[in-house]
Amino acid sequence: MPDNSTSSEPAAPTPEAISAPRKIYPIVKYGDPILEKSTPRVKKFDAELEELAEDMFASMYAAQGVGLAAPQIGLSLRLAVIDVTGGKNPEAKFVLANPEIIHAEGEVREEEGCLSIPGFRGYVIRPQFVTVRAQNVKGEEFEIRGENLLARAFCHEIDHLNGILFIQHLGLLKRDLIKRKIKKLKKQGEW
């Protein structure tokens, strides 16, 4: 999910970004079958998973996003990272392994985009508040409640893990328009 903030100031690098070079994964674009498949649960919680999560944060920041799911970097794994502050607050970094929404309330219609569908946006209705149960990189279970943008990011990334893209929440006409434009971009070699 891309960052919608209007600040023109570049984000300060996070301490993690300064301490060790991270692998920046290319973002998988719409049309790749991995984006439309449900992912298997994370079963192994080790140093490799921690490294992957940090690389996912680096990849997300590089793409100017606020959330990134493993399928978006070509990995079929039930793992997502979210930071709606764009790296400005280390306490706002969330790693979600095997997440599930256990409670949702309210309804908000906001414009949404996706790193895997760059350049396209649409209005999506999401819950205003959600509670998510997940595991951290060490395998410890936790629950977290998010509202507004954080709730939207939770829903968006969990959708990715279930093989659902934000355009599937759009009306038929808007969805078809986006698909036709992407098809044209593919023919021109620009996708």
Q: Among all residues, which ones are annotated catalytic? A: 157
Locate tokens 């794994």: which residue? 77
- Three-class SS string for the chain? CECCCCCCCCCCCCHHHHHCCCCCCCCCCCCCHHHHCCCCCCCCCCHHHHHHHHHHHHHHHHCCECEEEHHHHCCCCCEEEECCCCCCCHHHCEEEEEEEEEEEECCEEEEEECCCCCCCEEEEEECCEEEEEEECCCCCEEEEEEECHHHHHHHHHHHHHCCCCHHHHCCHHHHHHHHHHHHHHHHCCCC
